[in-house]
Amino acid sequence: MIKKIAAASIVGIVIIVSLAVAFSTEMEPQPEPQPESNAVSSHSMQGVIQPDVMTGGDVIMPTKVSRPGCEETDRCYIPSVITISAGESVTWVNEDSAFHSVTSGFYDAPQDLFDSGHMDPFDSYTLTFDEPGTIDYYCTLHPWMEGQVIVE
Ligand SMILES: [Cu+2]
């Protein structure tokens, strides 16, 4: 009988301890994922979203790119490759009637540099690039949409 009670209380203690451990690890702030070594900035970039911008885009998302096909002619973002100097900005304008995003990396290999989030039709997104490098980006909603910023 005593052995049973002892066993039961040990099981109870083990459960309580493991719950406590699970809870405390859940509450601990997760370490920031370290970006892979890259010539580009090692910290996240803050972009600026502006609604209802009809013109003035350096790069546009044209109509109908929410269906595959634009990648065949490299016209998902126009131009799909833009070259700027360090310290300059790029403004994207969504000229499509669907949501799109400008997100660093590739669909199957995201890079934690920037993410416009879902851009409404005619939203613009502006980012300033301070460090030289080649930055790939894509649309989180349409993985075939890919573009590149080359910062010299
Ligand atoms: Cu898209």
| Distance from the alpha carbon of residue 10 to the mean position of ligand 1, in angstroms | 56
Least confident of 40-44, 73-77, 136-140, 148-152: 40-44
Tell me the per-residue pLDDT of 56-90, one tens digit each, with 9 for 90 and over.
789 999 999 999 999 999 999 999 999 999 999 99
Closest to 45 in 3D by CA, of 107, 94, 102: 102
Asked whether residue 76 is marked as a ligand-binding residue, the answer is: no
What is the distance between the alpha carbons of residues 123 and 100, in angstroms, rounded to a whole number?
Answer: 10
**What contacts 66, CB < 8 A, 6 or more positions away?**
96, 98, 100, 141, 142
* DSSP letter (8 states) at residue 79: S
Find out whether 48 and 126 touch, Cβ atoms under 8 Å: yes
Mean pLDDT value of segment 31-54: 65
Tell me how far apart the 2 most distant CA atoms of the chain are, in Å. Answer: 82
pLDDT > 80? residue 95: yes
Domains of the chain in start order, with CATH, are 48-151 (2.60.40.420)
Convert the pLDDT of each residue in 2-36 to its tens digit.
Answer: 555 455 554 444 444 444 444 444 555 555 544 44
How remote is the CA of residue 55 from the centroid of ligand 1, in Å? Answer: 18
- Any binding-site annotation on 142? yes
CA 66 / ligand 1 centre spacing (Å): 5
Minimum mean pLDDT among 13-17, 91-95, 112-116: which range?
A: 13-17
Whole-number pLDDT of residue 7:
53
CA of 143 to the centre of ligand 1 (A): 7
pLDDT at 70: 97
Q: Which residues of 77-109 are buried (b: 16+ CB within 10 A; e: fewer)?
A: bbebebebeeebebbbbbbbebbbbbbbbeeee
Please give the distance, rounded to the nearest whole angstrom, from the Cα atom of residue 92 to the centre of ligand 1: 12
The per-residue pLDDT for 108 is 95
Q: Which two tokens stand for residue 115?
A: 């993410």
How far does residue 62's CA lie from ligand 1's centre (Å)? 10
pLDDT tens-digit readout, 117-131: 999 999 999 999 999
For residue 126, what pLDDT is reported?
Answer: 96
**99 C-alpha to center of ligand 1: Å?**
6
43 is in an annotated binding site: no
